Structure 1
Amino acid sequence: MKKLQVWLPLLFAVVMIMGMLIGFRLRGNIVTSGFFKTRKQSPVQEVVDLVNMKYVDPVSMDTLGNAAIDGMLTRLDPHSVYIPAADLSEVNEDLQGNFEGVGIEFQIFDDTVNVVSVLAGGPSDKAGLQVGDKFLKVGDSIVAGNGISTDKIRTLLRGPGASKVIIKVLRKGQPQDFTVSRGTIPLPAVDVSYMIDKQTGYIRINKFSETTHAEFARAIQGLQEKGLQQLILDLRGNGGGILQESIEIADDFLDGDKLIVYTVGARAPKVEYHCRRDGLFENGKTVILTDEGTASASEVLAGALQDWDRATIIGRRTFGKGLVQEQYQLSDGSAIRLTVARYYTPTGRSIQKPYDKGHEDYNEEVIKRFRNGEVVHGDSATAHAGPAYKTFGKQHRTVFGGGGITPDIFVGFDTTTLDKNITSLYMDGTLSRFIYSYYIQHMPLFQSFKTPAEFVAGFHGEEQLWNGLANYATRDTIDLHAIPQKDKEILQHRIKALMARQIWRTEGYYEVSNAYDPVVNKALETLKK
C-alpha cells in the first residue's frame, strides 16, 4: 500500500496526459452534445478566420461579419433581419413607446434648424424654448449654416435622462441660451381620439408598442364618457409591432372566450390566444379603416374582428404580413429578429403574402398594386389567389387568405393629386416650408382658435392661404396656377389640415383632415346604415 501511494500521483498524471492526447486526436471528427461540448467549426467561421489571418488587405471584421449575417438572413423570409448594435437602441425605442430627449419637433429649412413644435410640459417647454426658435449651437457643436443633418441633430439632442444640454437659439434676431434637462419623451401610439358626432367616436392607432393598449383603453373610456355608441378605428399606415398589444385590443371588442389568433411554426408548437376578460367595447358598431400600409399586428386585429363579424373593414387590402418575429440579443450588443412562426386568424386564414420569388419582388408587391390598378379599382382589377373562408358570425361572409385582409367595402386611392407640380410641393419640401413660415407670420390668428373643430368651422382664409402658397412655390419654379380645380380643392384641404397640425400636432391634423377624408365619410355612411 505504501508503494502504491508513492506511485499513485504519477499514475494519475500519465492517465490524464493520455486522455488529453486522445481527446485532441478525436476533436476534429467528433461533435458531442451536453453541457461540455466541442463543436466542429462551420465553413462560415472557417472562411471568416481565414480572411482575418490571410487576406491581402486590411479588412473590418465587424463589417464582414455583418454582411455574412445579412446574406444568411436574405435566404430566409423578408422579415428576419439583423440589427447592428449601433442601431438597436433607436430601433427598440419605437416599441418601448418612449425615448430620452428634449421634447421638440424640428425641421431644417435653408440649412437652419427650426423648432416647429414643443411638447407641452416637456423638458424644452420647461426650459422656455418656443416654436419659431432657430438653433445656433447644441452644446459645443455649431448647427447653423454648416450642412447639419437631421440624424446629427437628433444625436446631439438625445442622451441619458436628467443630463443637461445647452442650446443656443436665435429668437427675434437675438441669440439666447437655454439649459434643457433631458427627460422621458413619449412616442404615442394613439394619434388622436375624438367624437365626430354625438354618438360616433374616432381613434387612430399608428403602431403597437408597449403602451398601445393602455393608450387605447384611456381613449375609448374617454369617448364613452362623451356618449360613444359606435366607433371608427383607423389602422391605415399602421405597420404593426407587438402582437400581444393587438390581442389585448381585440379582446376589448370580442366577448366570451373567442379565439383571436393562433401561431404555429416548424419548431414552435401551436399557441392559441383567446379572449380572457370583459372587453371595453363589446357591443357598439365598429368600422376599421385599412390600406396597403396596414400590416402585421394590425392585420391580426382586423382579421379577428372580421372573422367574428364584429367589424366592417373599409378601405383597401392590407399589406399581407403574417409572420411572427422574436428578437434575440447577440454577444456584441447587436440583435436579430428571427421569424419563428406564422399567425392565423380565427377561421384559419394565413394573411402572409407569398415571398417565394425573392425579397425584391416581395418588397415591390405594393407598387404593383398601383401599376395594375388594384388600389383604384379593388377586386375588379385583381383576382383573389388565396383560399376562401366563411366568417363565424351571423353574416357568414366569404373572406380570403394568402395575402392581406381584403376590405368588406372598398374605397379606392384618389389619383387626382398626382399632378407633377403638386408632387413637387412634397418632394422638394416647399409645402412644409410654406406652412411653417405662414404660421409664424400669422400666429395670433391661428392661436385664436381653441379647438380643431372650431378651426374647421371658423377658418375661412383658404383662398388667402392658397394665393400665398402659389406665390411661395414660384421660388422653387413650381406653377400651381394651372392645376385642375379638383386638385386645388383637395390641396386646400391638406393645407388646412397641416396648419392645424402646426397648432395641435397630430390631434389637430387628423381632426381637420377627417372632415374631408372620403374613407372616413364612407365609414360614417356605413354606420348610419
Structure 2
Amino acid sequence: MVNNKLKLWLPLIFSIVMIGGMFLGYKMKEKMPVTARFFSAERKGTVQEVLDLISKRYVDPIQTDTLADAAIEEMLSHLDPHSIFIPSSDLQQVNEDLAGKFEGIGIEFNIFNDTIHVLSVLKGSPSEDAGLHPGDKFLKIGDSTVAGNNTDSDEVKQLLRGLHGSKVQVTLLRGREIKQFTITRGIIPLYSLDAGYMIAPATGYIRLNKFSETTYEEFMEAMQKLKENGVEKLILDLRGNGGGILQESVEIADEFLDGNKLIVYTQGDHVKKQEFRARREGIFEKGKLIVLIDEGSASASEVLTGALQDWDRAEVIGRRSFGKGLVQEQYNLNDGSALRLTIARYYTPLGRSIQKPYDKGIESYNEELYDRYHNGALINADSNKMATGEPYHTPKGKLVYGGGGITPDVFVAMDTTGISNKVAQLYTKNTIGNFVYRYYVDHIDHFKLFANPADFEKGFDIRHGGQVWNAFAAFALHDSIKINTMPAADTQFIIRRLKSLFARQQWRNEGFYEVNNAKDPMVIKALEELNEQ
C-alpha cells in the first residue's frame, strides 16, 4: 500500500525537484567565473549537417525543429539528470515560477463538467477589484466562448493572461444571473512562502515551497511579524521544496548563522571554487531552530539545511532529502529555447557533496525513491542514511553524512495512514477536491463565521456520521466510491484532509497548513523536540 502511495506522488515530487532544482545557480552568472561562449557559425557541426540534409532531401515532410529538440535531449541524457533543454514553448512558464510572479488576473480555477469554475480569488488581485467571487462560472473570455466546448486549462490561461495594464472582458454565470466584468490585468505574485504563524507559545512556523526571486523578502516579512509576536523558537518547514535560486537560500542561511561562517561553496572543472559566507547580523541567530525535510527537499533546500546542520545551528527532523547537489546555469538559445547546463557541484561547509549517484543512468536515478521504499529508508530510521555516504563530524561531534542527500538528526517515518486503494481513488478521480469546492460555495456564509484558521480548527466538525461527512459520502458515490466501509485510519485521514482543504478555500495555503499541522506527525515531533531542548 505504501508503494501505491509513493507511485501516486512520485511524478509530482520529481517534477518539483526538476523544476526547482534546475534553477540552482541561475541568476548568479555575474558571480560565477564562467561565461557563455558562442560557437562560430562559419562551419556547421555534424548534427546541423544531418538536420539540413533531412530537411532538404527526406522522402516525407518532417518538422526538423522536433528532430533537433530530440537530438539535444538525447545528448543531454548522457551527461547528468539535471542538465536539460527547455523548449521555447515552456520557457515563459518556467521563468515565471522562478521570478515569483506573472501577469494575469489573479484567480484559481478548475474545470468541472466542461465548465470553468472560479475556485478562489487572490486577495488584492485585479479579479477581486473587479468583483469576481468563488463559485463564478466562465461563459466567455473576450470573444471566446469557453463553456461547453472542451476548453482546456492551458487555453484558459492563455486567454486570461496578458500584459500588465491590458484589459480582458469576461462573461460569468453567478447562480442564475449572467454578469459581465472588465478586468485590468496586473502583476500576480507566485508566493514561495506558504505559511508563517505562531504555532505555539513563543514558537513560530514558516513553510517555504521553493526559492524564487522573492523568497528572501517573503521570509523576512514573516520573520518580522513573528519577532513582533515574541518568537523564541522556530520550525522551518522545507518538505517538498525542490529548490530554486541558490542566492535566496544563502541569504536565509545568513539570518541564522553568526560571524563569517561558510554557508556553501561551488566548484567544477571549468568553474573555480566560489565561497558564500555569512556577512551580516541575522534576524534569528540565537533562538532554537528545527528544520523539517523529506525526500522531496532538494537543491537549494539542501544547501540551507546542510549549512545549518554542519554548524550545529539547527536540529534536522524528517527523512533523507532528495540528493541534488549540482549547479545549473542558463544559456538562452537563438530560437527562444534555453539550455540549463550543469557547471559545478555545491558542497556544505564540512565539504559534503549531497548529490546522489547517477552513474547507473537517468532511469535508475529517477527510480531511486522507489528503491528507498523497498530498502526501508522511508519507514525505518536505521535505513535512512545513504549506505555509501561518507561520514563527517560537526564542531560539536555530531555524525553527518554526504553522498546522497541530507540525513536528518531525528527520523520520522512516512505517514502510512490513509493509503488504501479506495483513498487513492478519491485522489485520482479528484473526488475530494471537487467536493470541497462545491460544499464550500454552497455554505460560504457558514465558513465566513470563523475569524481565522485557529478558530476553524477548533470549531469546525467533520466527524464520521456528521452532516459534512454524510454529504461527502453521498458525493463520493457519484464516483462509485463507498467511503463508509473504509477502515478507521483511512476515515481519520480523509477527515483531516477535508478540514485542511476547507481552510485553504477560506485562507489559502496558510489556512491549509495551520489546520493540517495540528495533526501532522512531523510537526508534532518538532514541537516535542523544541520543548525538550
**Normalised TM-score (structure 2):** 0.90
CA–CA separation in structure 2 for the residues paired with 1:430 and 1:285: 41
TM-aligned CA distance change 1:366 to 1:215, over 3 Å: same
Letter in 2 for 1:448: L
Alpha-carbon contact 1:207-1:238 (below 8 Å) kept = yes
Alpha-carbon contact 1:384-1:400 (below 8 Å) kept = no
Alpha-carbon contact 1:307-1:345 (below 8 Å) kept = yes
Q: Write out per-residue CA displacement over residues 248-289 of structure 1, whole angstroms, 9 at most, x where no aligned residue.
A: 000000000000001000111011111111111100000000
Deviation, 1:375, is 0.8
CA–CA separation in structure 2 for the residues paired with 1:468 and 1:369: 39
* 1:317 equivalenced with 2:326 (yes/no): no
Alignment-derived partner of residue 221 in structure 1: 224
Deviation, 1:370, is 2.4
Alpha-carbon contact 2:269-2:344 (below 8 Å) kept = yes
2:359 to 345, 356, 361: 356
Alignment-derived partner of residue 110 in structure 1: 113
Alignment-derived partner of residue 64 in structure 1: 67
Letter in 1 for 2:74: G
TM-aligned CA distance change 1:201 to 1:36, over 3 Å: closer
Letter in 2 for 1:454: D
Letter in 2 for 1:406: T
Alignment-derived partner of residue 88 in structure 2: 85
CA–CA separation in structure 2 for the residues paired with 1:368 and 1:473: 34
TM-aligned CA distance change 1:151 to 1:308, over 3 Å: same
Figure out how many residues of one structure are paired with residues of the other and give that number: 494
TM-aligned CA distance change 1:253 to 1:137, over 3 Å: same
Alignment-derived partner of residue 493 in structure 2: 490
1:176 to 173, 176, 179: 179
Give structure 1 stretches of 5+ with no counterpart: 1-33
Q: How does 1:320-359 map to 2 (within 5 A)?
A: 320-359=323-362
Deviation, 1:381, is 6.7
Alpha-carbon contact 2:320-2:385 (below 8 Å) kept = no
TM-aligned CA distance change 1:464 to 1:81, over 3 Å: same
Deviation, 1:241, is 0.3
Q: How does 1:77-476 map to 2 (within 5 A)?
A: 77-380=80-383, 384-392=387-395, 394=396, 396-462=397-463, 463-476=466-479
Deviation, 1:327, is 0.6
CA–CA separation in structure 1 for the residues paired with 2:484 and 2:298: 39
Deviation, 1:65, is 1.4
**Normalised TM-score (structure 1):** 0.91
Letter in 2 for 1:171: R
Larger RCO, structure (CA 8 Å, separation 6 or more): 2
Q: Write out per-residue CA displacement over residues 484-520 of structure 1, whole angstroms, 9 at most, x where no aligned residue.
A: 1122112111111110001111010000000010100
Deviation, 1:373, is 2.5
Q: What's the % identity of the aligned pairs?
A: 57
Give structure 2 stretches of 5+ with no counterpart: 1-36
- The alignment partner of 1:476 has SS state of coil
- The alignment partner of 1:63 has SS state of helix
TM-aligned CA distance change 1:425 to 1:146, over 3 Å: same
Deviation, 1:51, is 1.5
Alpha-carbon contact 2:260-2:277 (below 8 Å) kept = yes
Q: How does 1:21-60 map to 2 (within 5 A)?
A: 40-60=43-63
TM-aligned CA distance change 1:35 to 1:307, over 3 Å: closer
CA–CA separation in structure 2 for the residues paired with 1:214 and 1:304: 20
Q: Which moved more, 1:70-79 or 1:249-258?
A: 70-79
Deviation, 1:383, is 5.8
Letter in 1 for 2:334: S
Larger Rg: 1
